[in-house]
């Protein structure tokens, strides 16, 4: 594995490291995986602390489900959910992690709303994880230009409510590459430094099983854009479509896929099970 680095808010640099793990902290009542287990702010903070202790480099806090068919929540409600959690997790002591320079965890907010991003960054987040690529709320680009956080630029075809209705592409890899090229040019032109940006192909976001598999098979194509790849694959429904695995039985498949993707150069892995992923990626790095 080649070591990668990622600059975030304040010019802090994550890495260099062979991999980064983003632990998922869902402060939602309707997550596809945990079903609202950490909807209460105290439970979410405790979960974030546990993921940090397990070795998460990043804690990705989200207050709105983006599963297929999910309804949007109001700005005020999303802020009510995420701000107390981010503010409390921001007080966690930072520590060095094996095989990675810097101190962790750093905080990420999973949102496409400008105000939620701005207030979360003020509360202690250093990264914005945005499924919309600044297309749902164009004011988000102004926040990114002003604050210059780390930014996850993700591809999706449509909003979560409708994205899986009838996804279609002539060539999914070429179209996602072209999308990233256009969005990188747009964001850098607006004032977000390129070293803040990582690329997420958006597995399951407006894609069929075959679209997802083709992106995963050809993930190294995205290296041509010069930015690290961020992967959100953990426990997703493609494992049901391909292997017949119901929710709750996708952990082993997630770990196998994560190891393969790390060997293909994926830098950041957004996962539910941090402890198991730490073991998977340390083993993959040792055998590379």
- C-alpha 111/C-alpha 102 separation (Å) is 25
9 included as an active-site residue = no
Strands 100-104 and 95-97: antiparallel
- Residue 95: burial class (beta carbons within 10 Å; 0-12, 13-18, 19+): exposed
DSSP 8-state code for residue 191: T
Burial of residue 178 (CB within 10 Å: 0-12, 13-18, 19+) is exposed
Cis upstream peptide for 113 (omega within 30°):
no
- Phi and psi at residue 201, to the nearest 5°: -70, -10
CA 222 – CA 178 distance, rounded (Å):
10
Closest residue by Cα to residue 190 from 143, 228, 255, 222: 143
Interstrand relation of 106-110 and 127-130 (parallel, antiparallel or unpaired): parallel
Q: Which of 4, 148, 196, 270 is catalytic?
A: 270
Q: Which sign does the torsion angle of CA 182, 232, 50, 31 carry?
A: positive
Catalytic residue (choose from 207, 227, 236, 250): 236
Q: Residue 109 burial by CB count (10 A; 0-12/13-18/19+): exposed, middle or buried?
A: buried
135 is catalytic: no
CA atoms within 13 A on the CB side of 50: 13
Do residues 231 and 186 make contact, with C-beta atoms less than 8 angstroms apart? Answer: no
Instruction: Just list the catalytic residues.
Output: 236, 270
């Amino acid at each position: 594995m080649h070591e990668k680095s990622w600059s975030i808010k304040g010019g802090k640099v994550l890495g260099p490291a062979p991999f980064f793990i983003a632990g998922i902290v869902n402060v939602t009542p309707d997550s596809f995986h945990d079903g609202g287990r950490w909807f209460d702010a105290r439970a979410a903070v405790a979960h974030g602390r546990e993921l940090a202790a397990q070795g998460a480099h990043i804690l990705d806090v989200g207050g709105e489900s983006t599963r297929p068919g999910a309804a949007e929540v109001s700005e005020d409600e999303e802020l009510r959910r995420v701000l107390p959690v981010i503010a409390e997790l921001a007080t966690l002591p930072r520590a060095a992690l094996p095989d990675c320079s810097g101190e962790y965890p750093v905080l990420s907010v999973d949102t496409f709303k400008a105000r939620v991003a701005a207030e979360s960054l003020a509360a202690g987040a250093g990264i914005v994880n945005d499924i919309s690529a600044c297309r749902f709320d164009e004011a988000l680009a102004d926040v990114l230009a002003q604050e210059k956080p780390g930014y996850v630029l993700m591809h999706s075809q449509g909003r979560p409510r409708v994205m899986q209705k009838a996804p279609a592409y002539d060539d999914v890899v070429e179209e996602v590459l072209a999308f990233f090229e256009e969005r990188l040019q747009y964001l850098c032109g607006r004032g977000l430094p390129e070293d803040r940006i990582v690329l997420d192909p958006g597995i399951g976001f407006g894609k069929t099983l075959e679209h997802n598999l083709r992106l995963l098979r050809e993930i190294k194509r995205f290296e041509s854009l010069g930015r690290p790849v961020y992967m959100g694959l953990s426990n997703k429904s493609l494992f049901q479509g391909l292997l017949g695995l119901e929710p709750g039985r996708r952990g082993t498949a997630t770990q196998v896929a994560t190891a393969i993707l790390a060997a293909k150069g994926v830098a950041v892995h957004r996962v539910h099970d941090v402890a198991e992923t730490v073991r998977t990626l340390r083993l993959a790095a040792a055998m590379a």
